[in-house]
Structure 1
Amino acid sequence: MNIGIDLGTTFTLCAYMNEKGIPALVPDRYDANAFRTPSVMLIDDSGVHVGDTANELCEEDTTSNLWRNAKLDLASDKLFQAIDGKAWKPESVSAVVISKVLADCQMYLTESIKHVVITVPANFNAEQRKATKLAAQMAGLLKVSLVEEPVAAATFYGCVNNIPKSTVLTYDFGGGTFDASILEVNAGNSKVIASDGSNSLGGNDIDELIQNLVFSEFKVEFGLDISQDQESQVKVQKLAEKIKVGFSRPTIRQVKKSIVLQGRAFEFLLTRSQFEELLQPIIDKTLVVCESCLAAAKMNWSSIDEVLFVGGSSMLALAKEKILAVSGKDASTIIQNQPHQAVAFGAAIIAEQIGGGVADTNFQYGATSKAIGISVINKTTGEADMEELIAQNTPLPAKVERTFFTQRNDQQYLVFEILQKGNNEIQPSSLGYFKFGPFLNPKKNLPIKLTLNCDTEGIVHATATDEGSGQELQKILSKEMENAEWIEEQKQLVEYAKHYV
């Protein structure tokens, strides 16, 4: 059995191909009617809790420490402090969420799991992708492939509808990320032409705007600022999510909710016009990303055959209205084909292709989500700058070689800082320092060839060779070695958590 996992910011879904060759979701092992696992974790005196159980416990005790949005913190230094003093990294929390859906699979599916595809946002950098794979490995998965979310969604769309060659723009508006990708779709195959996106733009931003409005109106009515009160924050967050979901139904003109905050009954009313006024700046930001993606592909809206909406937030009517307005397209070109499940279904299809030998792990699914280069000193400003070696949206796998020269006779090493930068990013992100050496015969102007490989999963690998001797140089320092100091400890935490999930 091969499965696909949509490891989402807000929810995680797992899918497989059933006996009819149709993708289907794996249900929760305790609730056959539940197919989404909230991507949250809570630890209390009774152990580790994931998904709905964690949310329910948090509602009972709003002072509980609940970890949300771990996906957005992958490859960061953020820590989740548990009640026992243990510090959990985002990779470990994601591993526990993956472990939970794997436990669901073991209960529901009769066959053992062979290959797993996990989806990532197109805008994830190489370190975030490596962190996703590390989370999967901590969960006990050995054969894992990463596929970008828009590729998975487009694959599902192409397979189910048997679409002939078509150019599709995916408008992927999830809980914490937004991606726009342009793909060539041909039945079950999808090839990325260009991608752009933001890891700080998603449905959570909409929730936050509604929450701020609730706190503001409560303060006007009662004269109290409760925005920093933890119990009120939890309640208002849930309220905001319900209001947003309510407005995803186009016939709803207003949402009216009653809530008790600090012992005071409060009635909150939000009309559609008020909601869309809040929403408009966020939708406008998604359109900027779409235009940037089109520019990168050297296309305009007339080049796009269909716009594929993916993710829960894409169901908001204003998103469709805005896309139609800027593109000049007919409403029939907007495809909303199971936007909540499309990524998981596509991941299951690709997992079956890989696991069944229809496609191998070198199949070209994507393109570089960000430009890749090295840190250099700008000769004009004297400040650190990025020298681009692999352009954004280069088809994967991508490879570049560049020769550098030593500066001194006694120089034993060369150190490179590898960087990545997207079109809409001001500053590049660092993939770490890579120190190569020692050289067999050090001398000034010794030619050292640096090779950068970005594999089919968007993960960057760096190697260096002494061109004089042909010696492949040892990689002395990198983020992988730094990570080794904490990985073993985090694995033990995940193993402990598996007893509960």
Structure 2
Amino acid sequence: MAVYGIDLGTTYSCIAGIDRIGRAEMHRNSEGSDTTPSVVFFETPDNVVVGQPAKDSAVVQPDLVISRIKRDMGQEVTRTLHGRPYTPEEISAFVLRKLAADTQVATGETVTDVVVTVPAYFGAAERDATRKAGRIAGLNVIDIISEPIAAAITYGVLNPDEDRHILVYDLGGGTFDTTVITLRGGDIEVVCTDGDHDLGGADWDDHLVEHLAACFRREHPDAGDPLESNATEQDLRKIAEDLKKTLSTRLRHTVRVMHEGRVTTVELGREEFEALTRNLLERTVAITRRTLETARAKGVLSFDHLVLVGGSSRMPAVAETLSKEFGLTPRLQDPDLAVAKGAALYAFEETYRRLANSGERAKAEAMALEAGLSAVQRRAIEGRTIKTVASRAFGIVTTNRRTREDYVAHLVHANDPLPASVTEDFATLDDDQTGVTVRVMEQAGSAESKELGDNDQIGEGDLRIPPGKPAGFPIEVTFALDTSGLLHVTAREHERGERLDLDIQIGGMSEEEVVSSRDSLARVRVD
């Protein structure tokens, strides 16, 4: 049974599988690269192009190209192309289809069962949207796991008998998070996590784009602003990304900015680049420091390794700053591919465990035999546990009975161990109340807050109340958050042994819309 791990990234995505001797291996795309730009070009209503060709098309047809869609996951927003609105789930599904199709061509095997990774700081809505994107792409999403866990699997399986504490610093193209992980006897336990899903390497690119545009404006004050031209802006973005990568290996580099027939030559040194983007790096340091404080409160006082994950962590300033700030020697281990490889290993192990524990031992043994696993390795896989935590706090809107002011009552808190199931009692405010609206909220900022403005609403539903009930009629609310970070909410009232259940739909697309979208987009060609 072939299973795969997919790193669905903001700027680049990739897919890995398991080879004949049980190792994770990357599957290259049709262009011969391990990574595929997460860019979609809607060439026609019936044909979309994904990857580097789509990225190249952004310069000439920017209005038909979508990138960085991962930052919109879990939000009820659409992008309209050729007169049809597309959700973030649907656009992400095209990227997933490209990865699956290219892998099928390379291996001859149909890609069906996958594990997809998400940033550790992704909330319930984003995780649910990612799962739905996989389903729209025609994939069976075995699980959704956090990127640092996937990286830890890649890292941890090297020496499963060594117990150690690891700080994972994950700076991807569009998201950032830090996670403290304990490896003990081959088991993986997430101690705490923190992050910002609106911070990543793309923001370094944005700073460079602004700098290049400013240099052009200074030299050609009578010309138009290059950022007011979609074509020039897309060209600047490509120049900026290449410049950022070049300055990771060279101390200085020169580029040319062209707009309206004018040319400006810009020379930039690594120190200047680091000064331009210092505020971004300082944001990651502040989050890392906050994560370490949370870890200390949980009893983790020292670290054996600092592992850098995500392509943007290749910037020399990252390792230098972290070493100076925290006294740890960073380890840059396959930052672009470690997450996909870990997801593939997890997919294999999870499938093996499920088969072994569900009475399908023969299938499990066939998987192990094909991967060349020894009896010791099989026992280790069957016994391995992975424990994680909630990335954010979750609660409902309730009202102070005395002041009648609304506030958020959190049932699950950030860094609570998962799975979590919490039940609390609430009550109606008025006599003869016929119903209540249950508004499910998720922590939006870096700290838990009761203020409505510091939380995002991710679900809503109405619960009917039997007639004639006095104020204070009890309502029971249960939050169940699973190990994938997906939330299930139930609200009940108990009257003479009867109860009403309310399931909150998390995410922008309903199950019916997912099925309809999968069938509709299956007719669209993906190149």
TM-score (norm 1): 0.91
CA deviations 1:161-209 (Å, max 9, x no partner) are: 4461111111000011100000112465321100000011111110011
CA deviations 1:446-469 (Å, max 9, x no partner) are: 332211100111111111333343
Moved more, 63-72 or 460-469: 460-469
1:17 maps onto 2:18 in alignment: yes
Distance (whole Å) between structure 1 residues aligned to residue 401 and residue 492 of structure 2: 27
1:237 maps onto 2:264 in alignment: no
User: What amino acid does structure 2 have at the position aligned with 1:352?
Assistant: F
Residue 500 (structure 1) shift: 2.8
Superposed, 1:308-327 pairs within 5 Å as 308-327=307-326
Distance (whole Å) between structure 2 residues aligned to residue 441 and residue 17 of structure 1: 62
User: What amino acid does structure 2 have at the position aligned with 1:75?
Assistant: G
1:375 maps onto 2:373 in alignment: no
Note if contact 2:401-2:429 (Cα within 8 Å) is conserved in structure 1: no
The match for 2:484 is 457
User: What amino acid does structure 1 have at the position aligned with 2:428?
Assistant: T
Note if contact 1:302-1:327 (Cα within 8 Å) is conserved in structure 2: no
1:419 maps onto 2:418 in alignment: no
Change (3 A) 1:276 1:77: same
Change (3 A) 1:44 1:288: same
Superposed, 1:385-424 pairs within 5 Å as 385-408=407-430, 410-421=432-443, 424=446
Distance (whole Å) between structure 2 residues aligned to residue 75 and residue 18 of structure 1: 34
Distance (whole Å) between structure 2 residues aligned to residue 15 and residue 374 of structure 1: 39
Aligned-partner SS, 1:160: coil
Note if contact 1:364-1:395 (Cα within 8 Å) is conserved in structure 2: no
Note if contact 2:181-2:190 (Cα within 8 Å) is conserved in structure 1: yes
Residue 36 (structure 1) shift: 1.1
Note if contact 1:75-1:128 (Cα within 8 Å) is conserved in structure 2: yes
Aligned-partner SS, 2:454: coil
Change (3 A) 1:433 1:258: same
Change (3 A) 1:470 1:194: farther
Note if contact 1:155-1:188 (Cα within 8 Å) is conserved in structure 2: no
How many matched pairs? 491
Superposed, 1:113-124 pairs within 5 Å as 113=111, 115-124=113-122
Note if contact 1:41-1:68 (Cα within 8 Å) is conserved in structure 2: yes
Superposed, 1:20-35 pairs within 5 Å as 20-28=21-29, 30-31=30-31, 33-35=32-34
Distance (whole Å) between structure 2 residues aligned to residue 80 and residue 132 of structure 1: 17
Distance (whole Å) between structure 2 residues aligned to residue 215 and residue 163 of structure 1: 53
Distance (whole Å) between structure 2 residues aligned to residue 227 and residue 492 of structure 1: 39
Distance (whole Å) between structure 2 residues aligned to residue 410 and residue 486 of structure 1: 36
| Gap regions ≥5 residues in structure 1 | none
Change (3 A) 1:495 1:188: farther
Superposed, 1:63-78 pairs within 5 Å as 63-78=62-77
| Gap regions ≥5 residues in structure 2 | 355-380, 448-452
The match for 1:184 is 182
Distance (whole Å) between structure 2 residues aligned to residue 477 and residue 460 of structure 1: 9
1:349 maps onto 2:362 in alignment: no
The match for 2:375 is none
| Cα root mean square deviation, aligned | 2.6
The match for 1:166 is 164
Distance (whole Å) between structure 1 residues aligned to residue 215 and residue 129 of structure 2: 41
User: What amino acid does structure 1 have at the position aligned with 2:421?
Assistant: K
CA deviations 1:323-356 (Å, max 9, x no partner) are: 1111123x3xx11110111110110110011111
Distance (whole Å) between structure 2 residues aligned to residue 297 and residue 477 of structure 1: 32
Change (3 A) 1:79 1:161: same
Superposed, 1:52-63 pairs within 5 Å as 52-59=52-59, 61-63=60-62
Distance (whole Å) between structure 2 residues aligned to residue 412 and residue 264 of structure 1: 69
Distance (whole Å) between structure 2 residues aligned to residue 190 and residue 310 of structure 1: 17
Aligned-partner SS, 2:441: strand
Note if contact 2:490-2:504 (Cα within 8 Å) is conserved in structure 1: no
Change (3 A) 1:476 1:168: closer
Note if contact 1:438-1:474 (Cα within 8 Å) is conserved in structure 2: no
Distance (whole Å) between structure 1 residues aligned to residue 398 and residue 472 of structure 2: 18
Aligned-partner SS, 1:124: coil
Note if contact 1:193-1:367 (Cα within 8 Å) is conserved in structure 2: yes
CA deviations 1:127-171 (Å, max 9, x no partner) are: 111100110110112342000001111111111344611111110
Note if contact 2:192-2:291 (Cα within 8 Å) is conserved in structure 1: yes
Distance (whole Å) between structure 1 residues aligned to residue 165 and residue 430 of structure 2: 53
User: What amino acid does structure 1 have at the position aligned with 2:121?
Assistant: N
The match for 1:132 is 130
Change (3 A) 1:363 1:441: farther
Change (3 A) 1:302 1:246: farther
User: What amino acid does structure 1 have at the position aligned with 2:230?
Assistant: Q
Moved more, 256-265 or 63-72: 256-265
